[in-house]
Amino acid sequence: MIVDDFEKRLRPPELNLNPYPPKVITLASGEKMVVREVQRQESAALLETIFPLIGVVDDYYDIVAVRMYSEVLGWHRFRVANEFVLVGAIEGEIAGIVTSRCVDRKVGMSLHTLTIKRGLRVGAQLFAAKMEHHLEFLNQREVWIVAESPNGFRRWMIEYGLENAEDRYPEIRHELGGVPTYILTKEIFNKVRNEKVTGVRPVPPEVLSTADVLRVPEEYPQIPGYRRNRQKRSAT
């Protein structure tokens, strides 16, 4: 089939990334958040989770959500090279999502961090997990990072003390928006690791199993009064 042949050509080459070993984080609320890698066949739950946030202007949820939606969809449809997606789930319910990809074996490129459950630093923990994956499990040299919100700039650029690579443009150029690229090197990461990366491994099986099936949130603190409409539409 010529279509299949074209499809093969449209798909990017893959590096066969190492898997991310799951971990569990006890949040300030006492809730256990399982952080694990998502498989492609689970992307529908992610897309359904992200979609309502595309309309939220506050705290730049709109731009982060719309970009993440395209990243997850692109990954699902094999249009992004070497991407991985991690999720934080509490009792199976999606509390946050991070997306990232590898430029090559040595360089990572952080995409987005989306927090659904707020007030518990879920986003900060998931971002740290993403960096942990790049630098420890994929054993990369560095990760390129940009921020698209003031919150992100404060949390990543300032709190991690990232290296500003503006003056190395275009040699170092993040794919997102042309905004200044910052770098997290292994050296910088090792300095802050003990203050940023948390979680326990291995995850007890009874806890890990709570995240076997990802559940889409029914409510969003970002959208007061929101209730997901789960009524099935008729096929006709």
Partner 1 sequence: MRKVAIVGIGHLPFGNLSKFDLVDIMSFASSDALDDAGIRKDRKIIDQVFVANVGAAILNNQTGVASSLVSRIDLEPAMAETVENGPASGASAIKCGYMAIASGLADVVMVTGGEVMRSVSGWKATDFVAMLLHPEAEYDYGLTLPAFAGMFTRLYMERYGLTEEELALVAVKDHENASRNPYAHVPYPCTLEGIYASPDAGIVNNLLADPLRLYGMCPVSDGAASLILCALDSPKMKHFKKKPPIRISGIGSATDTHCIHYRKDPLELKAVALSAERAYKMAGLGPQDISFAELHDAFVILELAISEEVGFFKKGKAREAVKKGITRIDGKLPINTSGGLKAKGHPLGATGVSQVFELAKQLRGEAETGRQVKDPKHGMAVNFGGFGNNVVTTICSKE
Query: Which residues of this chain interact with partner 1, rule CB under 8 A?
Result: 25-31, 58, 119-121, 125, 150, 154, 195-200
The three-state secondary structure class of 92 is coil
Least Cβ distance, residue 197 to partner 1 (angstroms): 8
Looking at the Cβ atoms of 27 and 45, the one nearer to partner 1 is 27
Looking at the Cβ atoms of 181 and 222, the one nearer to partner 1 is 222
Gap between the Cα atoms of 145 and 155, Å rounded:
12
Least Cβ distance, residue 152 to partner 1 (angstroms): 13
Burial group, residue 28, by CB count within 10 angstroms (0-12, 13-18, 19+) = exposed
- 130: CB partners within 8 A, 6+ apart: 86, 98, 100, 110, 113
Residues facing 89 on adjacent strands:
34, 94
Looking at the Cβ atoms of 104 and 218, the one nearer to partner 1 is 218
Least Cβ distance, residue 28 to partner 1 (angstroms): 4
Looking at the Cβ atoms of 40 and 154, the one nearer to partner 1 is 154
Least Cβ distance, residue 119 to partner 1 (angstroms): 4
- 158: CB partners within 8 A, 6+ apart: none
Cis preceding-peptide flag for 19 (omega within 30 of 0): no
Looking at the Cβ atoms of 3 and 57, the one nearer to partner 1 is 57
Gap between the Cα atoms of 79 and 11, Å rounded:
6
Least Cβ distance, residue 33 to partner 1 (angstroms): 9
